Structure 1
Amino acid sequence: MNKTKLPTRVFATRASVVSVAIAAALSSGAWAEEKAQSKDDEQIETIQVTATKRTQVIYEVPLAISAFSGEALAEQGISDLTDVGKFVPNLNVTGFSAGHTSSANPFIRGIGLQDHLITTDPGVSVYVDGVYLGRQVGQNWNLSNIERIEVLRGPQGTLYGRNSIGGAINIITKQPDEVAVTKVALQGGSRGRAKADVFVNRELTDTLAFNLNAGYNQRDGLGKFINVPDAEYDVGETQEAYGRFSVKFTPNDDFSLVLTADGNDGEGGLRPYTVLIDEVPTGAYYTGMRFGAPTPTGPLRNSDLAPNIYDNATGTREVTTVSNEASGVSLTADWSLNDELSTKAVLSNRTSDYKAGLDDDGTIFELDHYPERGDADQTSAEWQLSGFYGEMDFVSGLYWFEEKGSNRQGEDSRFNGGANTLELDQTSTSRAVFANLGYQLTDDLRLAGGLRFNKDKKDVLANVGSGPFAASDEWSQMSYDLSASYRLENGMNLYGSMQSGYQSGQFPARPYCLFGNPECLVATDNITAVNYEVGVKGQVTDTFSMSVAVFNTVFDDLPYQVSTTAEGGFSTTNLVVSQTSRGVEWESTVYFSDAFKLHSALGWIDVDVDEKDGVKPVAPLTPELTAAIGPSYEFALASGATITTRIDYSFRDEMYGEPSSDPGRLTLIGSRELVNMDIAYSPAGADWTLALYGHNIFDERYDNARLNTGDYVLRILSNDASEFGVRYTAQF
């Protein structure tokens, strides 16, 4: 199947609109009376980040990093992790995970999570306030009450441990403080969008403060379940309630204790998807009802599917509804021991569970459908000791993590019309000790290095209908990083780094190979990554900041998840490969005047995978080119009010949905272009803003993933359709 091309007229229209918008903004900037500010009053906000577990200006960090403040997220209308993935170079966030609408699977530089089952681990780690999220399905992705988000690209094995071979994403929420603030946000729009969010921060005493964030978000679906007329939700419909509460105790200037609890509860309809019936199984002939009418005996065919790809023709009620629930509590203690030393402890427990599942044949027949439930319970503890002596600084610590989880497909699951069982239970334990040392050799030259020793164990119990089988394995690995950064005469920072990353081995996700080979429940070896990177970043002038990075990363024993139909069920095995990724990344912010700002991002990556068993695999869900550009202009009215206009354009190149570039190109996902717009009005002296927004204003419909099972090709469609509406925010 050839790549889907946009009609020339449509592409030209979109390109013209974007070009005109940028040109208009540039013209407005040229006509504006405001002049660029002087060095004494710089326009560009200097973001402080904690990517290296010590506070640094973002330009000083010797690695490729993107950061968004909470205010910037609000200005762009970014409300979840999927939106973040549209504006960071070489970051692609997909939604797959058994058709769940709440999943967010980040891929950085060609590394991510291909499967969601408990036996697979992500290649990009996500942290919320220093707490690692072991599972990325069903979590609270609403980005309210956010201080900032940091996206670290490249292996982060020394400070962030296992499962960060592609990179790490830090989500930092706002801590309670003494400022009395109440913020309210209301949003309503097309496709039944209704969202309400409130944030409250108060100081109770001189030593005690709290904040609270709570909200509700819903959106209508994109299609109907045509053979389940009384389905509770439409295809792609979502609704979720969420909240977060933090209390901070600060008895003195040297000690603080923060207790945080959060939770979310969501339900909705199965994510939109459709099926290409690539090859009907031998002897697979069915008699039954097609769309409610009798049909003669014959093979399954594409005409059995819903005519509209955003409708769903399943007759299985169990897969029409998805749900997710997660909750967590964490305790963070910061203690300054003296002027040179400080210590920090982070304790956490999190639970999550979800219900989802797909009907792989996509028809009314009870052939290949897999309703599924999953849950996970994790506990983690981290202790850090950091400090500085003269020109030397360090961060060190101990880490412990345990996760217990399960996945279930039971009596309501079918494969080729027969009962299909999948029972997975896994306990993972991870322990680590780490240290990172930096030394300011001269005023302009800083050297840094770090080591981390990881030891991991996994115990798995699998039953696919042929009896339970148990397996266990252990891994250990030393990760390291070395870097040098040099401040140039113009204030820019030049850096070079070598970073390694590590992931423990993984057991087969769906081991239906157990029917003929009881010995196949074997985990892969350690997954390792080594990244070589050089870059330059900083403020070129008071009105122009930029960063550029060039990287080369080598991965060994990297498992690709490959799914096929096999005896007994839908089997997923690990194809272990060696992979080399190389590329370039660029980000910049330019102020053409006080009123006009332009942000841009560009990423290019080339991935080479070694031939395996006579087959040349490809890196899944990895676009070669990613780009984003966002001009914004602020108009000052005579009344003192302001109108801020913004357009955001993002591009993701074509990519394959799975490791195999099959000859028919059936799993090739076409490129996509998305355009958002925002017009915000803020009256003079008032604490409220009213904005008109457009999300995906050209209604670009695109695929999130594709999977060839041998019998069917699943096209997991985006739930990201066009939306226009109004957003109101107020602060008291």
Structure 2
Amino acid sequence: MTHGKLTVARNLSPVAAATAFALASLVAAPVMAEEVAAKKESKIEAITVTATKRSQVIYEVPIAMSAFSGDDLAAQGIADITDVGKFVPNLNITGFSAGHNSSANPFIRGIGLQDHLITTDPGVSVYVDGVYLGRQVGQNWNLANIERIEVLRGPQGTLYGRNSIGGAINIITKQPGQEAVAKMSAEVGTRGRLKGSIFTNQAVSDDLAFNFNLGFNRRGGLGEFINLPNAEYDVGENQEFHGRFSLKYNASDDLRIVFTADANDGEGGTRPYTTLIDEMPNGRLYQNGLRNTDVAADPYDNATGTLATSKVSNKANGLSLTADYDINEDLGAKFIFSKRSSEYMAGLDDDGTKLALDHYPERGTADQTSVELQFTGYLGNVDFVTGLYWFNEEGSNRQRSDEASFNGGPTKLELDQETTSKAVFVNVGYDATDDLRLSGGVRYTEDEKSASTNVFDPVGTVYSQREWDDVSWEVASNYTFENGLNWYATVQTGYQSGQYPARPYFLIGQYFSVGGPDNPEAAAIVRANNAFMASENISAINYETGFKGQLTNDFSMSVALFNTEYDDLPYQVNVVTDSGFDTNNLIVEQTSRGIEFESTYMVTDNFTVHSSLGYMDVDVEEQNGVKPVAPLTPELTAAISPSYAFELSNSALLTTRVDVSYRDSMYGEPSYDPRRMTQIDSRTTVNFDISYAPINADWTVSLYGRNVFDERYDDARLNTGDYILLIKSNDASEFGVRYSATF
């Protein structure tokens, strides 16, 4: 991965700072090219990525992106995808969906997923081996058998389609090959850490090979359910089994087929959270006599008396088939088919007390099928990627009235949705000269959603159906200087289809407003009013320029300046009314602008420093006298990772590494709060890794520490109008030993 270190003048506006830096870079680039024209062979290995659905060296891709190789993930203290968010500029990954402890919600440049229900789509898309994951709860986030992870920042609507207006995360696993390899790793640490995995790659014949990995991961909790002695798990405890099998068959010299199956099964305790009651003296809980003393004194304990909100679970499984066919030396075709299913159980007891007031046990399911057909080719100086895409998802969320309650009375949520998306796309590149490349693309998408909800039995089930379409496009150019430094400029757009309300409890209020239950026609009137309506498309356009490449044989860097404009962006504002917990969509315009810098510097052959820094300013238009703020979006992100390798007297190698990550303060939800009660403090986390590898040996032993100073921080803060809900991070200090061997 490439990282960087950059000082941003705080007394300059974001636009002025970005302009000054861009001008300085334009002036400096030719000078640097002359100074290092005769540079030596590079000491830094450039990662090859597939961000544009074609293989390219990372410096040649005309977008801002970061890449992690699979071999470096463990050394950097990255245990799951949430940890990736600690080391990429302007990326923040949280996990608080319904109190689940294995969800992941990425926010890139101020765009992400604020709710997990089936009617809401993510703003950052996640792909595994080219397969889009429609849901981000219940999936397998274990980073086993990983070739690399790519983080693409900015709208990716042309090649990645809908729901990538913030960016995209590509997870690429290792493909089966002819080399016979067997690996195992084991990890034992504090907080009850027990982790193990096995991996093997074997060739059955010259044309048939497979790989297989199986793993188990357990981590203990951070607190107890003080009023539930029969709780199965502690607060924040989790354990999971996961496995993946891939089979590759070379049917001929031109045709390669890969079949993959994966599954995971996890359980645990609800992630840590607490409720602030005294801070809202006009709130319903305070008026009913509850106080902060009624919740657990330790925020990592939990005082709920509802057993159903103490446990979470997640299951997922998937099948995929990929076929690559070389039509001739210049033309190729690729076919990707996938079916995935996921389910989860979670929920929160919002009042945080032993009383059965506000608790919401929840279950969710999702089944998706996707098909993609790609054609790639080279025609002289022109190369292209074009294709067709089809996606279908059916999902549901359930909160049963005999389990869930609001203000002590029963409440329910039945939410179902089916989504069908179809698209056609083309992206073309033209090498105008040996140094100048021009590229562009366009994508047409049609979406159809049918949804239904029942939040109140007297109203019954309300149905709705809606269609959308959109054209996404991009144009880009990049120029390579004599020293290998690449300059690029890109204008790209993105698209997210409209969405239905996540929690439409306003239907209850409408029922009573038209005379229910005295009016026997009240339910029919509510259903006929089309009250359950979807929002319009969300669109984004991004203007970006930057430099990336190796300035010398021991220093590589990338810098990006961007300005992204979003239209019809729904902000999900949570409100508690007499009818229940309501989620309202506020449609706004938003502008995100900033700068990102990453670098790798080999100070000596043994001493390397990776660093990154991102600065961003987000402006959201004022609506109805309220000026929202971008949620879960720090203004400043930074990381630095020095590593040093010692060669011992016995020729063994001792490698030491420290990873420091900083995330600035941010707001936990979009509603602007003058009292800053939803503001999350800044945080700094530190990891270390010390690995010992004997010469010519096939094993390595490591001492590791994650969040070594035990920085405790909030994942989110929600002002419900009645109380402040604090969702705590499940991150905590951990120290242990890791052993890995290759056979």
TM-score using structure 1 length: 0.92
Q: Given the alignment of the two structures, is residue 655 of structure 1 paired with residue 655 of structure 2, yes or no?
A: no
Q: Which residue of structure 2 aligns with residue 425 of structure 1? A: 416
Q: Given the alignment of the two structures, is residue 415 of structure 1 paired with residue 400 of structure 2, yes or no?
A: no
Percent of pairs with identical residues: 64
**Which of 324, 328, 332 is 1:334 aligned to?**
324
**Which of 628, 641, 657 is 2:639 aligned to?**
628
Deviation at 1:515, TM superposition (A): 1.1
Whether the 8 Å contact between 1:65 and 1:153 is mirrored in structure 2 is yes
User: Alignment partner of 2:251: what SS?
Assistant: strand
Deviation at 1:565, TM superposition (A): 1.1
Q: Given the alignment of the two structures, is residue 692 of structure 1 paired with residue 703 of structure 2, yes or no?
A: yes
Comparing 41-50 with 598-607, greater Cα deviation is found at: 41-50
Q: Which residue of structure 2 aligns with residue 175 of structure 1? A: 175
Deviation at 1:282, TM superposition (A): 7.1
- Equivalent-residue separation in structure 1 for 2:537 and 2:41 (angstroms): 51
Q: Which residue of structure 1 aligns with residue 453 of structure 2? A: 462
Comparing 465-474 with 231-240, greater Cα deviation is found at: 465-474
Q: Which residue of structure 2 aligns with residue 575 of structure 1? A: 586
Whether the 8 Å contact between 1:511 and 1:520 is mirrored in structure 2 is no
**Which of 426, 433, 436 is 2:427 aligned to?**
436
Q: CA 1:138/1:284 → structure 2, altered by over 3 Å: closer, same or farther?
A: closer
Deviations 1:597-654, CA, capped at 9 Å, x for gaps: 0000000000000111111100000000000000000000111101000000000000
Whether the 8 Å contact between 1:531 and 1:551 is mirrored in structure 2 is yes
**Which of 700, 705, 722 is 1:711 aligned to?**
722
Aligned pairs (5 A) from 1:149-168 = 149-168=149-168
- One-letter amino acid of the counterpart of residue 467, structure 1: G
Q: Which residue of structure 1 aligns with residue 294 of structure 2? A: 304
Whether the 8 Å contact between 1:393 and 1:438 is mirrored in structure 2 is yes
Whether the 8 Å contact between 1:661 and 1:668 is mirrored in structure 2 is no
Deviations 1:194-236, CA, capped at 9 Å, x for gaps: 0001110000011100000110000110000000011000000
Deviations 1:445-486, CA, capped at 9 Å, x for gaps: 000000000100111100101311011111100000000000
- Equivalent-residue separation in structure 1 for 2:584 and 2:244 (angstroms): 38
Q: CA 1:285/1:526 → structure 2, altered by over 3 Å: closer, same or farther?
A: closer
Aligned pairs (5 A) from 1:496-535 = 496-517=489-510, 518=526, 519-535=530-546
Deviation at 1:567, TM superposition (A): 3.4
Q: Given the alignment of the two structures, is residue 234 of structure 1 paired with residue 225 of structure 2, yes or no?
A: no
Whether the 8 Å contact between 1:667 and 1:706 is mirrored in structure 2 is yes
Q: Which residue of structure 2 aligns with residue 375 of structure 1? A: 365
Whether the 8 Å contact between 2:285 and 2:722 is mirrored in structure 1 is no
Q: Which residue of structure 2 aligns with residue 56 of structure 1? A: 56
Whether the 8 Å contact between 2:39 and 2:483 is mirrored in structure 1 is no
- Equivalent-residue separation in structure 1 for 2:680 and 2:655 (angstroms): 35
Deviations 1:119-167, CA, capped at 9 Å, x for gaps: 0000000000000000001111111100000000000000000000000
- Equivalent-residue separation in structure 1 for 2:44 and 2:217 (angstroms): 33
- Equivalent-residue separation in structure 1 for 2:84 and 2:252 (angstroms): 37
- One-letter amino acid of the counterpart of residue 495, structure 1: Y
User: Alignment partner of 2:75: what SS?
Assistant: helix
Whether the 8 Å contact between 2:385 and 2:428 is mirrored in structure 1 is yes
Whether the 8 Å contact between 1:91 and 1:106 is mirrored in structure 2 is yes
Q: Which residue of structure 1 aligns with residue 375 of structure 2? A: 385
- Equivalent-residue separation in structure 1 for 2:436 and 2:267 (angstroms): 53
Q: Given the alignment of the two structures, is residue 259 of structure 1 paired with residue 270 of structure 2, yes or no?
A: no
- One-letter amino acid of the counterpart of residue 102, structure 2: S
- One-letter amino acid of the counterpart of residue 47, structure 1: I
Number of residue-to-residue matches in the alignment: 685
Deviations 1:474-509, CA, capped at 9 Å, x for gaps: 110000000000011221000000000000001110
Aligned pairs (5 A) from 1:665-704 = 665-704=676-715
- Equivalent-residue separation in structure 2 for 1:94 and 1:536 (angstroms): 29
Q: Given the alignment of the two structures, is residue 86 of structure 1 paired with residue 119 of structure 2, yes or no?
A: no
Aligned pairs (5 A) from 1:5-44 = 41-44=41-44
Whether the 8 Å contact between 1:280 and 1:299 is mirrored in structure 2 is no
Aligned pairs (5 A) from 1:559-574 = 559-574=570-585
Deviation at 1:253, TM superposition (A): 2.5
Whether the 8 Å contact between 1:236 and 1:272 is mirrored in structure 2 is yes
Deviations 1:645-699, CA, capped at 9 Å, x for gaps: 0000000000001111212211000000000001000011111000000000000
**Which of 609, 625, 636 is 1:614 aligned to?**
625
User: Alignment partner of 1:252: what SS?
Assistant: coil
Whether the 8 Å contact between 1:515 and 1:567 is mirrored in structure 2 is no
- Equivalent-residue separation in structure 2 for 1:200 and 1:356 (angstroms): 34
Deviation at 1:39, TM superposition (A): 5.9
- Equivalent-residue separation in structure 2 for 1:153 and 1:309 (angstroms): 35
- One-letter amino acid of the counterpart of residue 433, structure 2: T
Q: Which residue of structure 2 aligns with residue 539 of structure 1? A: 550
- Equivalent-residue separation in structure 2 for 1:444 and 1:684 (angstroms): 43
Q: Which residue of structure 2 aligns with residue 17 of structure 1? A: none
Whether the 8 Å contact between 2:668 and 2:680 is mirrored in structure 1 is yes
Q: Which residue of structure 2 aligns with residue 206 of structure 1? A: 206
- Equivalent-residue separation in structure 2 for 1:77 and 1:729 (angstroms): 15
Question: Structure 1 unaligned runs (5+)?
Answer: 1-37, 287-297
Whether the 8 Å contact between 2:698 and 2:741 is mirrored in structure 1 is yes
Aligned pairs (5 A) from 1:59-70 = 59-70=59-70
Whether the 8 Å contact between 2:304 and 2:349 is mirrored in structure 1 is yes
Q: Which residue of structure 1 aligns with residue 521 of structure 2? A: none
Whether the 8 Å contact between 1:381 and 1:399 is mirrored in structure 2 is yes
Q: CA 1:419/1:442 → structure 2, altered by over 3 Å: closer, same or farther?
A: same
Whether the 8 Å contact between 2:77 and 2:688 is mirrored in structure 1 is no
Q: Given the alignment of the two structures, is residue 604 of structure 1 paired with residue 608 of structure 2, yes or no?
A: no
Deviation at 1:43, TM superposition (A): 1.7
Whether the 8 Å contact between 2:317 and 2:341 is mirrored in structure 1 is yes
Deviation at 1:534, TM superposition (A): 0.3
- Equivalent-residue separation in structure 2 for 1:476 and 1:59 (angstroms): 33
- Equivalent-residue separation in structure 1 for 2:531 and 2:563 (angstroms): 34
Comparing 267-276 with 569-578, greater Cα deviation is found at: 569-578
Deviation at 1:564, TM superposition (A): 1.2
User: Alignment partner of 1:520: what SS?
Assistant: coil
- Equivalent-residue separation in structure 2 for 1:346 and 1:281 (angstroms): 55
- Equivalent-residue separation in structure 1 for 2:161 and 2:372 (angstroms): 12
- One-letter amino acid of the counterpart of residue 611, structure 2: S
- Equivalent-residue separation in structure 1 for 2:41 and 2:62 (angstroms): 27
Whether the 8 Å contact between 1:420 and 1:568 is mirrored in structure 2 is no
Q: Which residue of structure 2 aligns with residue 492 of structure 1? A: 485
Q: Given the alignment of the two structures, is residue 475 of structure 1 paired with residue 468 of structure 2, yes or no?
A: yes
- One-letter amino acid of the counterpart of residue 178, structure 2: E
User: Alignment partner of 1:210: what SS?
Assistant: strand
- Equivalent-residue separation in structure 1 for 2:212 and 2:64 (angstroms): 33
- Equivalent-residue separation in structure 2 for 1:323 and 1:116 (angstroms): 15
- One-letter amino acid of the counterpart of residue 579, structure 1: Q
Deviation at 1:76, TM superposition (A): 1.2
Q: Which residue of structure 2 aligns with residue 448 of structure 1? A: 439
- Equivalent-residue separation in structure 2 for 1:284 and 1:722 (angstroms): 34
Deviation at 1:553, TM superposition (A): 0.1
Whether the 8 Å contact between 2:285 and 2:351 is mirrored in structure 1 is no
- Equivalent-residue separation in structure 1 for 2:579 and 2:323 (angstroms): 51
Q: Which residue of structure 2 aligns with residue 22 of structure 1? A: none
- Equivalent-residue separation in structure 1 for 2:578 and 2:160 (angstroms): 40
Whether the 8 Å contact between 1:377 and 1:403 is mirrored in structure 2 is yes
